[in-house]
Structure 1
Amino acid sequence: MTRIVQTRRAALATVGAALVATAFAAPAVAADDAAAVAAAVEALRVAMVAGDGKALAALVFDQLVYVHSDGHLDTKESFLKSLDGTNSFKSLALSDQIVDVVGDNALVRHTFDSVNNLPEGKTSTAHIRVLQVWKLDKGAWKLLARQSTPLKV
């Protein structure tokens, strides 16, 4: 009987130690994941401003659902077509960003402020709130969905 008690105690001690180690390791992993997602968001912003279709294609899923603040929807194909090789943005800034990683998914919320280039040298502005859904795919974070809504100036 003593041997069983000692074995159970040893097993419980091992499980307890593993739980404690996991509790301390999990925030570090989550912080690393959040930083990787934030880096992917920044890479997307840079590629959008540059009109870099190759970089944009690598950062989004084929099933992309990209909803603009006016309600129109882009697929991956139309998203790339609207930005690849264009100079759509004079500037694009993201602020108030929050990244929440949930397993192999991430929710990113931020404010999106841009100056958009229009024909004939004109510009327009956007001041919107954005929700993005990112998913880990073969070690890389890719955009799966995006929804935005206008903010009052």
Structure 2
Amino acid sequence: MKTIITTVLLMTASILTQAQSKVPVISKEETAVNAGIEKLRVAMIAGDKAGLESVLGKELYYTHSNGHIETREQFIKAISTKKSDFVKIDLVHPSVKFLLEGEIALARHILVADTNDGGVPRHIFLGIVQIWKKEKGDWKMISRSSFHVPEEDAH
């Protein structure tokens, strides 16, 4: 009986150890990049110029799904004046990967959003790839590209 109990306890401990080892560890840097992504999302909805300026690198290239490219200044103006009006933004299937000894972060997600550009409501699904660069200890987005994805990929 003792052998059976010991075996069961060892198997349980082994299973719990394996389950714990599969829990992803989120680094301090990944947490910081994710905080930047969230700050950008909130600033886009609010049209918050200062919030946008705080997370966007000076050399930003913001590429829309139709191929149109905006500079940092053009993007900030479009969002802060509500020419590009995001009413709601959800980000699904996020991932962050670090490159070049942790100085560059590649962030990907699917953006599910309600917009109201020019008074025309739309519901959009876009794949997003962002490049974030560490500048003086802070993470700044320096590039963003988007592409259309089917609605079923956003769930």
- Tell me by how many angstroms 1:118 deviates: 3.1
Match of 2:90 in 1: 93
Match of 2:8 in 1: none
Per-residue Cα deviation, 1:27-63 (whole angstroms, up to 9, x for no partner):
97x7111111011000000000010011101111111
| Structure 1 letter corresponding to 2:87 | K
> Where does the alignment leave 5 or more consecutive residues of structure 2 unmatched?
1-23
Match of 2:147 in 1: 149
| Structure 2 letter corresponding to 1:149 | F
Match of 2:114 in 1: 115
Which runs of 4 or more aligned residues in structure 1 lie more than 3 Å from their structure 2 counterparts after TM superposition?
none
Matched, 1:128 2:126: yes
Matched, 1:78 2:77: no
What secondary structure sits across from 1:69 in the alignment? Answer: coil
Tell me if the contact between 1:59 and 1:142 (Cα under 8 Å) persists in the aligned partners: yes
Match of 2:15 in 1: none
Matched, 1:48 2:44: yes
Between the aligned residues of both structures, percent identity stands at 34
TM-score (ref. length: structure 1):
0.76
Aligned pair count reads 125
Match of 1:4 in 2: none
- Tell me by how many angstroms 1:137 deviates: 0.7
TM-score (ref. length: structure 2):
0.75
What secondary structure sits across from 1:146 in the alignment? Answer: strand
